[in-house]
Amino acid sequence: MVNNDVNKFEFLLTLEKNIVIKRFFDVPNYNLESKNSVDLYECIKSVCKEIGDDLKDKTLDYLNENANYFFDSEGLNEPQENKEEYFLLQIKFNEKVFISRIFPAHIYHPKVRYAVDIRPKIRKILASITNVLSSKNLDYKYLQYDLK
């Protein structure tokens, strides 16, 4: 079933309830059944992996650039605060959570995770989500289960 109106969705990425990025986007020809598709799950999973990979690369760059600092301070016994933190990615429709996914933030260096910037990639991310939400050819089978 396809809704021919333009529908407003919200993309929201937060880190421990602090907004990292929030964007509204339109989905023309929104397929009402896309919410239960495996394709939507895979798309959101892929977006989270892409953000995580970008953070991993930036963490490695940061550690490499500051290697001398870390080698010089090896003898210091400062207690490290290893508080578990998580990113939360949500897609909202009519102010209700449509789909969400959490992924760890504490595995990345604090200087990187607190300065996360996905603005250069947001257009591509929103386009891929829009494509899934408006697609008519989606997969609704997971193992032997019908998700419709």
CA distance 67 to 74: 11
Upper half-sphere CA count for residue 137 (Cβ side, 13 Å): 0
Torsion of CA 100, 15, 51, 108, to 10 degrees: -130
The span from the CA of 46 to the CA of 39, in Å, is: 10
CA distance 128 to 40: 10
pLDDT digits (tens, 9 = 90+) for 48-66: 999 999 999 999 998 888 8
pLDDT tens per residue across span 2-25: 555 668 999 999 999 999 999 999
Q: What is the pLDDT of residue 77?
A: 46
pLDDT for 41 equals 94
Structure tokens at 66: 């500051």
Determine the pLDDT at residue 69.
66
Give every CB contact of residue 35 below 8 A, 6+ residues apart in sequence. Answer: 98, 99
Instruction: Write down the pLDDT at residue 1.
Output: 56
Q: How confident is the model at residue 39 (pLDDT cuts 50, 70, 90)?
A: very high
Per-residue pLDDT, 6: 67
